[in-house]
Structure 1
Amino acid sequence: MVLILGVLPRDFKQKSSSIRGQLALLKDHRIQIGMFLPMFNLAAIYVFYTYLRPIITTRLHFSTTMLTVLLFVFGVANIIGNQVSGKLTEGPGLSAMPKVYTGQFILMVVMPLSFHYSWFGAILLMMLIISMPLLNSPIQIQFLQVAEKAYPQSIVLASSLNSIFSNFGIALGSATGGMLVSNFGMSSVGPGGAGYTLVTFILVVWLNRLNRKFAPQSL
């Protein structure tokens, strides 16, 4: 917290606005589509991520000692994903995400097969965990750029959308995972998550097309 206070700008000013003025942001099609991206992105991951521990121990047959090691490795993988997410904003941004979700979809579809091969399954899980935060920085920049150009009174709301809909996605993915495991067993969590990945892929392709349409005007 002390370090954050030391590096945050001191001259940031929010244009005063009513609640109605803040909500004007939600009329923009780029926002309407974009805010569902973090939701379905995390819904896809949390279908299986909710059951990460039993997957490692009962499906991949790793010991409790290796469970601790793997959870540490997966934590590092998540940090790497966040770093790559930041780099994406300096390069292709959201334009790179269709390729990410294509790979994520394939990994989730083959997840049940990976349960027969311990280390293959562990590597597959690590790749999915790296992919989990890749959307964060590009979509946050998307929200802020749209608000800055067209809805300056809504900057605060724009900065909150990613967090709000990410939490919706965690809840949706966890609930879906619970339903799938209860009815179809642990092997269903990969294909179940792939369904949400497909939705995310469609949304990001749609959003990229809208961004190209609005590019001369707003972004």
Structure 2
Amino acid sequence: MFMLSLPSDLTQGATTGLLDQLQLFKDKRILLGILLPVLNLGGVYVVYTYLRPIVTGGLHFPNAFVTPFLFIFGLASLFSNQFSGRLANGNGLKSMERVFIIQAITLIALSFVFAMPWLGLVCLFCLGMTMYLLNSPMQMFYLAVAEQDYPQSMVLASSLISIFNNVGIAVGSAAGGGIVTHFGLNWLGLGGGIFTVVALMTLLLLNRVRRQMETE
């Protein structure tokens, strides 16, 4: 069933070896593009890694509340995955500019609402609804660049989102650990927000580069 949902017209071009495929990384659009999943999930996982301590120790909800909270948060992230495809069908990377603004505001606000538990939950649910929106637009972007200019790298391009999402998860989790150790739980949102602001700046630069290359 999964195979039936994949595009049928994407094929790997002829290649002479690994170095030929790595030509993809000479493209500045790709170099900027691989930063986005790192920064996006880096910012999210600064907070996501510590969801339970935030809910119980920061927002002071009882331990019994954690399970229903995680269930609802999971539904929010499922929505994020599903809606990501709709963004990709439109002007995905342009739309992500607004998403990153919302996500940055949500993360930064989280650091200032620990005294308002229910508002803190709203911030967390908003985070869940935005965390995976980048996936499909980014995947389509990688494939479009490869198909047009680096057909020998189609397989490599299709794996970039998975690779750099995992890098982002590792970076965000490590950053979150450092923030909690040195500053405390209430600084996590601000730390994650910095990642997202940098992601927004990177996206704006990428979209400008794309426009320039399209007019050349």
Shift of 1:116: 1.2
* Cα RMSD after superposing both structures: 1.6
- Quote the Cα distance in structure 2 between the aligned partners of 1:5 and 1:84: 20
Q: Would the aligned equivalents of 2:109 and 2:123 in 1 still touch at CA under 8 Å?
A: no
Shift of 1:91: 1.6
Q: 2:111 aligns to what SS in structure 1?
A: helix
Is 1:54 aligned with 2:59? no
Shift of 1:64: 2.4
Shift of 1:15: 2.3
Question: Alpha carbons of 1:143 and 1:5: their partners in 2 closer, same or farther (altered >3 Å)?
Answer: closer
- In structure 1, runs of 5+ residues without a counterpart are none
- Quote the Cα distance in structure 1 between the aligned partners of 2:32 and 2:95: 17
Match of 1:14 among 9, 12, 24: 12
Instruction: Note the 1:122-137 alignment, pairs <5 A.
Output: 122-137=121-136
- Quote the Cα distance in structure 1 between the aligned partners of 2:3 and 2:94: 33
- Quote the Cα distance in structure 2 between the aligned partners of 1:32 and 1:150: 15
- Quote the Cα distance in structure 1 between the aligned partners of 2:170 and 2:142: 22
Identity of aligned residues (%): 45
Q: 1:114 aligns to what SS in structure 2?
A: coil
Instruction: After superposing the two structures, state which structure 1 stretch, 95-104 or 38-47, moved more.
Output: 95-104
Give the total of aligned pairs. 215
Q: Would the aligned equivalents of 2:11 and 2:154 in 1 still touch at CA under 8 Å?
A: no
Question: Alpha carbons of 1:198 and 1:135: their partners in 2 closer, same or farther (altered >3 Å)?
Answer: same
In the other structure, the counterpart of 1:179 is 178
Shift of 1:79: 0.8
In the other structure, the counterpart of 1:70 is 69
- Give deviations 1:49-70, integer Å, cap 9, x for gaps: 1100111111112222221101
Shift of 1:43: 0.5
Instruction: After superposing the two structures, state which structure 1 stretch, 36-45 or 60-69, moved more.
Output: 60-69
Instruction: After superposing the two structures, state which structure 1 stretch, 128-137 or 12-21, moved more.
Output: 12-21
Question: Alpha carbons of 1:82 and 1:10: their partners in 2 closer, same or farther (altered >3 Å)?
Answer: closer
In the other structure, the counterpart of 1:96 is 95
- Quote the Cα distance in structure 1 between the aligned partners of 2:101 and 2:156: 30
In the other structure, the counterpart of 1:146 is 145
Whichever residue aligns with residue 28 of structure 1, its letter is D
Q: Would the aligned equivalents of 2:81 and 2:132 in 1 still touch at CA under 8 Å?
A: yes
- Quote the Cα distance in structure 2 between the aligned partners of 1:88 and 1:12: 20
- Give deviations 1:153-212, integer Å, cap 9, x for gaps: 000110111111111111111111101100111111011111111110111001111111
Question: Alpha carbons of 1:65 and 1:91: their partners in 2 closer, same or farther (altered >3 Å)?
Answer: same
- Relative to the length of structure 1, the TM-score reads 0.93
